[in-house]
Amino acid sequence: MTDHMQRLIILCCLAALAGPGMFMQTGCKKAEKKAGPTIVKVRKGNLKVAVSATGIVEPEYIVVIKSQASGEVEEVFVQEGDQVVKGTPLVKINPIVETRRVNQAQSDVRMAKARSSSAWLKYKYLKNQINVQKDLLKKGLVPGSTMADMEKDLGMQSAEGILADAQIAKAEEALKEAKDRLAETNIVSPTAGTVIDREVQPGQVVTSGTSSVSGGNTLLQIANLTKLFVTIKVDEADVTKLHREQDAIITADGLPGQRFKGKVLRIAPKGTIESNVTVFEVVVAADERGSKALRPQMSANVEVVVTERKGALIVPQRALERVGRGAKGAAPEYVVRMTDGKKRQVKVGLMEAGQAEILSGLSEGEEVQVPTVAAKKPAGQRRGTGVPGAPGGGRGGGH
């Protein structure tokens, strides 16, 4: 092989090795070229500021039906979902236990009356004896100490009579309660509504509560479903934007594609702290259509529109450049950069979801520049060195 041919082969190998590196270097330079701004037209659209939260659907009220009587459940006349009116029979309990209690209470009343009668008869007898002793005392036939002892006994007997009368009143009240519990073996609905929960079955034994107020076992739950509400919790930063009678939109995952109207009904005057955040409970009433479609305990999304602008001039917020606040307390001042590079001052209204309302300074159809957000380079990435086989470099060329 001649020297000329050897030199030619070496030059070809060097060109092959350098080619990929040169290509990568050229490609990186092109990629590093800074992207220019995006040109956007001023357009008309709708802007709104809204407070959104997720809550639970609840009925207007829930009446818990409890057993004030004890015994075995004989019949349950309703099922979950049944509509009832006031006075509708709900549950029948075997009355034998409560009948016994009524009989016992009646016996206690009779015994109390007998004790009272006996006590007052003794009182009358002692009083008559004292009257006789008074005549004998005047004649000097009995000592004065005897009279004093008899008057003391009379006072004690009077107290016995009063106590016996109190026992009668107590026994009569116990009889009334026993009769009420006997009547409770036939349980009827105290209100109109829908049965939303049934917790008792025939054959089950239920017990009464410690008092007629607390009741005993829960049998049923009845709710008024003609008016439903969504209870949401709103952050302290947003609750000041809400007030009663504000319009709201209610949606539910269980009813996709459906939107229901609502109104803010109540706003809690006091907040609670949850996960180190202060929230306020807000109740939103659903309209008639929503009350028919929604169900208690559903998760629902509520959006309360605070402010809305229809047909507003809109530009992306990134097109705005803040240049100052102006006078104390005045709104911030902004400019936008036009396509010719010149800046123009604008007056800005609402800003929401990356869009800004232009009150003055621009017209529909005009074009403004929107700076392009530069993509961040992943950590550890290096530009190509142009040296085959080096980190970030091109592929090694073959010989």
- Distance, CA of 346 to CA of 325 (rounded, Å): 13
Give the per-residue pLDDT at 270: 95
| Two tokens, residue 258 | 């459906």
The per-residue pLDDT for 351 is: 86
Largest CA distance in the chain: 177
Sort 148 into a burial class: Cβ within 10 Å, 0-12 / 13-18 / 19+: exposed
Burial zone of 87 (CB within 10 Å; 0-12 exposed, 13-18 middle, 19+ buried): exposed
The phi, psi pair for 281, rounded to 5°, reads -80, 130
Assign 102 to helix, strand or coil: helix
pLDDT for res 214? 56
Is pTM, for the whole model, over 0.85?
no
Q: What is the pLDDT of residue 125?
A: 86
Can you give the pLDDT at residue 130? 78
**Distance separating alpha carbons of residues 118 and 110, to the nearest angstrom:** 12
pLDDT at position 382: 42
Which pLDDT score, from 0 to 100, does residue 63 have? 93
Give pLDDT, residue 151.
80
Q: What is the pLDDT of residues 171-194, one digit of tens each?
A: 999 999 999 889 989 999 999 999
The reported pLDDT for the residue numbered 138 is: 66
Q: 87's torsion region: left (phi>0), alpha (psi -120 to 50) or beta?
A: left
Q: Where are the alpha helices (DSSP H) in 196-342?
A: 236-239, 288-293
Residues of the chain under the 50 pLDDT cut: 8, 12, 14-31, 211-212, 379-399
